[in-house]
């Protein structure tokens, strides 16, 4: 019987100033604007919000966004997690987690399956991309999972793909799947994925890590419901 490793990450927008500068430089007024005064008003009132929105979206792109927190649970063991402060290098998070994977795969003789919600297209790929960008050789288990195209394989179990299939337009949110099964979501009025950056800016690191760990609890519940 395989050993399940439940995994979830939290991410933040790019912390490289030049990325935001490039975003700003490439945002222009709508094509239907021609009057100088209208364009000037747009530049003052609208453009800053457009820049901010585009920049926040880098938090979902492993090419530019960064990992801020990682939580995991191997089979029925305690949920564990690590988080870094904003002024700490991303490597301070990625290197220790790579070592965690090495230990887990060693202890369980490589008989381990990643389990997560949208874990294939987001968590694993984001981790792999950020490790490469930081000059870290990712643990082989991550690359093996990414190279396996089925939603339920001997490398990973993606809850979202297992439920919804591969058509992006049919992908269900974790919150909605929790509603379907009548279980409490990890999302609250105070924090969800979209509010992680606000909490990090405010120095609420423990709140983010706690939220990250709650996602693991929900992931495990959904996985058990789907697999009886």
**Closest CA relative to residue 71, chosen from 222, 221, 214, 224:** 214
Q: Are residues 37 and 102 in the same domain?
A: no
Q: Are residues 123 and 93 in the same domain?
A: yes
Q: Are residues 137 and 43 in the same domain?
A: no
Q: Are residues 46 and 76 in the same domain?
A: no
pLDDT at residue 149, rounded to an integer: 67
Q: Residue 93: enclosing H or E segment and its boundaries?
A: helix 91-107
Asked if 66 contacts 12 with a C-beta cutoff of 8 angstroms, the reply is yes
Asked if 6 contacts 220 with a C-beta cutoff of 8 angstroms, the reply is yes
Q: Are residues 87 and 181 in the same domain?
A: yes
The first and second tokens of residue 22, run together, are 């490039």
Q: Are residues 141 and 50 in the same domain?
A: no
Residue 178 sits in a domain whose CATH number is 3.30.420.10
As a whole number, mean pLDDT of residues 46-50 equals 94
pLDDT at residue 189, rounded to an integer: 75
Long-range CB contacts (within 8 A, 24+) of 95-104: 95/136, 97/70, 97/127, 98/131, 98/136, 98/137, 98/138, 98/139, 100/72, 101/139, 101/141, 101/142, 102/139, 104/5, 104/74
pLDDT at residue 151, rounded to an integer: 63
pLDDT at residue 178, rounded to an integer: 96
Q: Are residues 191 and 207 in the same domain?
A: yes
What domain count does the chain have?
A: 2
pLDDT at residue 39, rounded to an integer: 87
Count other C-beta atoms under 10 Å from residue 135's C-beta: 8
Residue pLDDT, tens place only, 142-155: 999 998 767 667 89
Q: Are residues 215 and 102 in the same domain?
A: yes
Alpha-carbon gap, residue 84 to 66, rounded angstroms: 11
Q: Are residues 51 and 116 in the same domain?
A: no
Question: The whole model's pTM is what?
Answer: 0.94
Q: Are residues 103 and 196 in the same domain?
A: yes
Q: Are residues 113 and 192 in the same domain?
A: yes
Token match 């890590």: residue? Answer: 209
Domain holding 28, by residue range, is 17-63
Q: Are residues 56 and 117 in the same domain?
A: no
């Amino acid at each position: 019987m395989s050993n399940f490793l439940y995994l979830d990450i939290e991410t933040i927008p790019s912390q490289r100033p030049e990325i935001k500068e490039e975003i700003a430089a490439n945002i222009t007024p709508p094509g239907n604007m021609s009057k100088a005064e209208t364009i000037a008003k747009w530049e003052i009132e609208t453009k800053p919000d457009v820049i901010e929105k585009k920049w926040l979206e880098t938090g979902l792109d492993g090419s530019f966004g960064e990992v801020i927190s990682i939580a995991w649970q191997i089979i029925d063991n305690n949920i564990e997690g690590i988080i870094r402060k904003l002024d700490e290098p991303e490597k301070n998070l990625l290197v220790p987690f790579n070592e965690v994977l090495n230990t887990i795969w060693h202890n369980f003789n490589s008989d381990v399956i990643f389990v997560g919600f949208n874990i294939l297209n987001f968590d694993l790929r984001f981790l792999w991309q950020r490790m490469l960008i930081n000059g870290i050789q990712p643990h082989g288990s991550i690359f093996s999972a990414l190279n396996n195209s089925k939603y339920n394989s001997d490398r990973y179990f993606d809850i979202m793909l297992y439920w919804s299939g591969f058509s992006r337009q049919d992908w269900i949110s974790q919150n909605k799947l929790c509603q379907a099964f009548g279980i409490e979501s990890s999302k609250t009025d105070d924090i969800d994925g979209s509010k992680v950056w606000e909490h990090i800016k405010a120095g609420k690191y423990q709140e983010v890590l706690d939220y990250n760990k709650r996602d693991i609890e929900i992931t495990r519940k959904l996985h058990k419901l789907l697999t009886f």
